[in-house]
Amino acid sequence: MVLIYVLGALSVLVPMLLVPMLATRWVPAVRASRLADRLRLAVAGLTEAFGRLGAALVVLLAGCAAVVTICWPLGELLSKLEPTLDHSVFDYVHARRVDTWADINSFITAIGDRYPLKWVTVVAAIGFAFAWRRRRWWIPLVAMPLQFVVEQYTQQILALTVNRGHPPTDLGTYPSGGCARVMLTFGTIAVLAGLTWNIPRRGRIAIATALTVLVSVEGYTRIYAERHWFTDVIGGWIFATLLLGVMVLTVLVAENRVRPPVRSADETPVAVASTT
């Protein structure tokens, strides 16, 4: 029983320690990488070809397709762990359930349900549209409902294609929609907040850490409340991270906030010889 409480504490402590470290060491390296510059170059080409909004739409559709392409085989792989890993975790938790702790977890995990997040989405959309009234006010008014719809239908596509079933106590399946909804809803709010106000770097790291803690705790509570298999939550975390990346890039492209590509100084044009 002690192990369950320790894992609950780790669901808070691990992201609190890990996210600031990654934000200070890994994120700057990724931003300066060739891959990131190629992505900026692709966005610049799409914007030139289709315009800012057309490029954002292409990014959204292509990104969602890429997420499905990655998470589909991942789900099939995780499904093979169900008879051993998932059943073992489920049986361990089920045999050691404490009513008080179960009630607390059931209360917390409800934050990932669709109904409360619908209201969060509506309030955030209206609030940011008002805050952006002197600029492109319609972007948050579209982005907030869009993230909700994109998560729902992308998650349903994966649930149908993988079709791995659910625990005997609930209908939750792969990937965990609760984790994804929390990540997408509050992650999109965080991005819009960053575009609305001049938040210092430490503040942005703190927001990213709080978001990761929230998603991590949501995954823990989904397991303890017996609403998902353990690997559903692992898949949900990966799915949510990838889909939030797509949504963030879509908003940045629509708002024209993607930095222009930086070409290497040693990059020389290739001359094409013509023959007569």
Q: What is the largest CA-CA distance in the chain?
A: 85
Quick: pLDDT tens for 101-159: 999 999 999 999 999 999 999 999 999 999 998 888 999 999 999 999 999 999 999 99
What pLDDT, on a 0 to 100 scale, did the predictor assign at position 215?
Answer: 97
- 167 band by pLDDT with thresholds 50, 70 and 90: very high
Q: Which DSSP string do the residues of the chain spell out, in sequence order? A: -HHHHHHHHHHHHHHHHHHHHHHHHHHHHHHTSHHHHHHHHHHHHHHHHHHHHHHHHHHHHHHHHHHHHHHHHHHHHHHTTIIIIIHHHHHHHHHT--HHHHHHHHHHHGGGSHHHHHHHHHHHHHHHHHHTTTS-THHHHHHHHHHHHHHHHHHHHHHHHH-----TT----SS-HHHHHHHHHHHHHHHHHHHHS---HHHHHHHHHHHHHHHHHHHHHHHHTTSS-HHHHHHHHHHHHHHHHHHHHHHHHHTT-SPPP---TT--PPP-----
Mean pLDDT of 156-176: 92
Q: Six-digit token pair at 240?
A: 């949510």
Quick: pLDDT tens for 237-258: 999 999 999 999 999 999 999 9
Look at residues 144, 146, 133, 149 and name the one whose alpha carbon lies nearest to residue 192: 144
Mean pLDDT of the chain: 91
pTM: 0.92
Q: Six-digit token pair at 119?
A: 């209201």
